[in-house]
Amino acid sequence: MSKSKVQGQTPAITNQNESSNGSQPEIHLNNPNIFFDRELSWIDFNRRVLEEANDPENPLLERLKFLSITETNLDEFYMVRVAGLRNLVKEGNDERSLNGDSASEILSDLSDKVRVFVREEYETFARTLEELKVAGIHLILNPEKLTIEEIKQIQNYYQEDVSPILTPLAIDTAHPFPHILNKSLNLAMVLSTDDEKTGGKKICSLSYKCLLYFQDFCNSKEKEKKEDFFHWKKSSNCT
C-alpha cells in the first residue's frame, strides 16, 4: 500500500504558511497528499452500494438488487478503468497521478482492495441466501436437489422452448473464431462427429443472448410448502 493513502484517514495539510492572524493555510495543488486516487476511491463508492445490500431497513429483494449492482459496477470498472491502467503499464508509461502513484502502484493497491471487497460481496450473498430461505424463496444452485419429476419437466421445457432458439456456430478453417459480444453468455463445446478429417471432433460455440425465465412449472410436493424458486428472468428487450 503506498504511503499516500491510508483508509479512513484524511491527508494532513501542513500549516507552515498559516499567517499569524489564524487564517487558513495556503493549499498547494502540487501536494500529492491532498488528493485521493480516483480508481481507489471508486472502490469505496461501490462499498457504499454494498452497505445498502446489508442494510436490514431495506426490503430483502431490494438488498439483493443492490448486491447485483455492486458486481455489475465492478465488471464495468475492470472493463474500462482497470483495462486503461493495464494499457499504461504495458506501454511503459511511468507518469504519476496527482496523488503521486504510478499506474502499476495503483493496480497493486486496487488488487488488495478488490480482494477484500469481493470477499465482502460473497459474505453478503451467503447471508442473503439464508434470509431468502426463511422468506420461502430458494435459489437452485445444485441440480441434484431437483426431484425426478422436476427434472423431467425442465427437460421438456428445454426441448420445447429453449432448444429451438439456440444457434450453434462451428469453428474450423472455413469459419474463424466468431465475434463474441461483450457481457453475453457463451458456451464452448467439443462435439463428436463422423468426419475423419476433423478427428471425430468439432469445436462449436453457442451464443445465448439472454437467459430465459423459468416459470414455476414444478408440480411436485415441494409446492405444497409454498416455496418459490428464483431463476434468471428474461429481459423484455432480448431479441
For 67-112, how does the pLDDT look when each residue is reduced to its tens digit (9 = 90+)?
999 999 999 999 998 998 899 888 888 777 766 678 888 888 999 9
pLDDT, residue 126, reads 94
Task: Check whether residue 159 and residue 85 sit in a common domain.
Answer: no
For β-strands 168-171 and 137-139, DSSP reports them as unpaired
Of 169 and 134, the one with more pLDDT: 134
In a domain, 117, yes or no: yes
Q: Are 50 and 120 in contact (CB under 8 A)?
A: yes
In a domain, 216, yes or no: no
Q: Are 230 and 139 in contact (CB under 8 A)?
A: yes
pLDDT, residue 217, reads 52
Q: What is the rounded average pLDDT for all residues in the chain? A: 75
Which domain does 168 fall in, by range? Answer: 143-209
Task: Check whether residue 57 and residue 127 sit in a common domain.
Answer: yes
In a domain, 229, yes or no: no
**pTM tops 0.85, yes or no:** no
Segments of 78-167 assigned E as strands: 137-139
Task: Check whether residue 177 and residue 153 sit in a common domain.
Answer: yes
In a domain, 9, yes or no: no
In a domain, 226, yes or no: no
Q: Are 37 and 14 in contact (CB under 8 A)?
A: no
Q: Considering only 28-32, 75-79, 155-159, 228-232, which range has the smallest mean pLDDT?
A: 228-232
Task: Give residue 14's pLDDT band: very low, low, confident or very high (50, 70, 90).
Answer: very low
Q: Are 110 and 43 in contact (CB under 8 A)?
A: yes
pLDDT, residue 113, reads 93
Task: Check whether residue 119 and residue 39 sit in a common domain.
Answer: yes
Backbone region of residue 136 per phi and psi (left: phi > 0; alpha: psi in -120 to 50; beta: other values): left
